[in-house]
């Protein structure tokens, strides 16, 4: 379990740079539900994820949420070091959705290194472009995909991540992921239930017809 195996451009750094990273980096094991980054209040550093699952979400000024993307093992989390980029004019929050393990390269060291290493700076560009792409994909969904199809897609994605057709998730929580109101989610889930695609019990959504949900999601 070595940082060098998880950090994509490790071999493009100088030996001295590698040493400085190893010296300053902590290994960190936050349990599920830990808030790692809370907008501009935090600037922990670059997170190199060994295992687990992170959720990166946008929080509006009046407290509404939408999930932007998830990060998994071997991913690098950039916005936890957002203070390195004065041009970032928006705040995101980052939380663990499963017990996770990660290396933290402190922001101050990361800021120094992107000024020295074109490899690291260019890798940062690629990371930023990847996240940008995920947000553009999401915007397209929001703009032009109806809510029933987005919800069907969300339930299938959750089922895939949890490796279960029984999702332990509240309507409130689904609403936060999707950036909408709880009532909207409840109404649509009841429609799905009437159509035989899910079965609802308190705090649980059971997928009963994956094929129909999938057809809807891709319609």
Residue whose C-alpha is closest to residue 147's, from 66, 63, 50, 54: 66
Using CB under 8 A as the binding rule, whether residue 67 contacts its own copies is answered as: no
Looking up tokens 């902590």, which residue turns up? 26
Phi and psi at residue 39, in whole multiples of 5°? 60, -145
> Do 125 and 87 form a contact (C-beta atoms < 8 A)?
no
User: What's the full length of the chain, in residues?
Assistant: 219
Count of C-beta atoms within a 10 Å radius of residue 175: 19
Using CB under 8 A as the binding rule, whether residue 83 contacts its own copies is answered as: no
Using CB under 8 A as the binding rule, whether residue 131 contacts its own copies is answered as: yes
Q: Give the nearer residue to its own copies in terms of CB position, either 24 or 127.
A: 127
Q: Give the nearer residue to its own copies in terms of CB position, either 54 or 92.
A: 92
Using CB under 8 A as the binding rule, whether residue 186 contacts its own copies is answered as: no
Give me the torsion for CA of 215, 218, 138, 181, rounded to 10°. -30
Question: Site for its own copies (CB under 8 A): which residue of 135, 161, 200, 212?
Answer: 135
Q: Give the nearer residue to its own copies in terms of CB position, either 28 or 85.
A: 85
Query: Ramachandran region of residue 70, left (φ > 0), alpha (ψ -120 to 50) or beta?
Result: beta
Using CB under 8 A as the binding rule, whether residue 114 contacts its own copies is answered as: yes
Question: Site for its own copies (CB under 8 A): which residue of 128, 165, 184, 200?
Answer: 128
Q: Give the nearer residue to its own copies in terms of CB position, either 15 or 62.
A: 62
Please spell the DSSP secondary structure of 8-30, one letter per residue: TTGGGS-HHHHHHHHHHPEEE-P
Question: Inter-axis angle of helices 171-178 and 182-194, to 10 degrees?
Answer: 110
> Do 70 and 54 form a contact (C-beta atoms < 8 A)?
yes
Minimum gap (Å) between residue 140 Cβ and its own copies: 6
Using CB under 8 A as the binding rule, whether residue 142 contacts its own copies is answered as: yes
Q: Give the nearer residue to its own copies in terms of CB position, either 34 or 117.
A: 117
Using CB under 8 A as the binding rule, whether residue 60 contacts its own copies is answered as: yes
Q: Give the nearer residue to its own copies in terms of CB position, either 36 or 81.
A: 81
Minimum gap (Å) between residue 121 Cβ and its own copies: 4
Tokens of 178: 């999707």
Contact positions vs its own copies (CB under 8 A): 58, 60, 62, 64, 66, 85-90, 114-118, 121-122, 124-133, 135-140, 142-144, 179
């Amino acid at each position: 379990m070595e940082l060098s195996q998880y950090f994509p451009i490790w071999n493009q750094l100088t030996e001295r740079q590698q040493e400085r990273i190893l010296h300053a980096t902590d290994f960190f094991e936050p349990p599920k539900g830990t808030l790692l980054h809370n907008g501009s209040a935090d600037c922990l550093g670059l997170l190199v994820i060994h295992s687990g699952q992170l959720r990166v979400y946008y929080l509006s000024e009046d407290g509404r949420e939408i999930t932007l993307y998830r990060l998994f093992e071997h991913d690098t989390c950039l916005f936890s070091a957002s203070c390195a980029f004065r041009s970032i004019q928006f705040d995101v929050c980052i939380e663990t959705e499963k017990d996770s393990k990660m290396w933290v390269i402190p922001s101050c060291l990361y800021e120094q290194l992107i000024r020295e290493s074109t490899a690291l700076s260019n890798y940062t560009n690629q990371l930023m472009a990847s996240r940008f792409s995920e947000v553009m994909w999401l915007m397209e969904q929001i703009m032009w995909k109806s809510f029933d199809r987005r919800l069907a897609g969300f339930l299938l994605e959750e089922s895939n991540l949890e490796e279960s057709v029984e999702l332990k998730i509240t309507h409130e929580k689904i609403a936060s992921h999707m950036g909408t109101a709880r009532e909207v989610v409840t109404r649509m889930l009841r429609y799905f239930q009437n159509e035989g695609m899910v079965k609802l019990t308190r705090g649980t959504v059971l997928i009963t017809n994956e094929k129909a949900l999938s057809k809807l999601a891709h319609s």
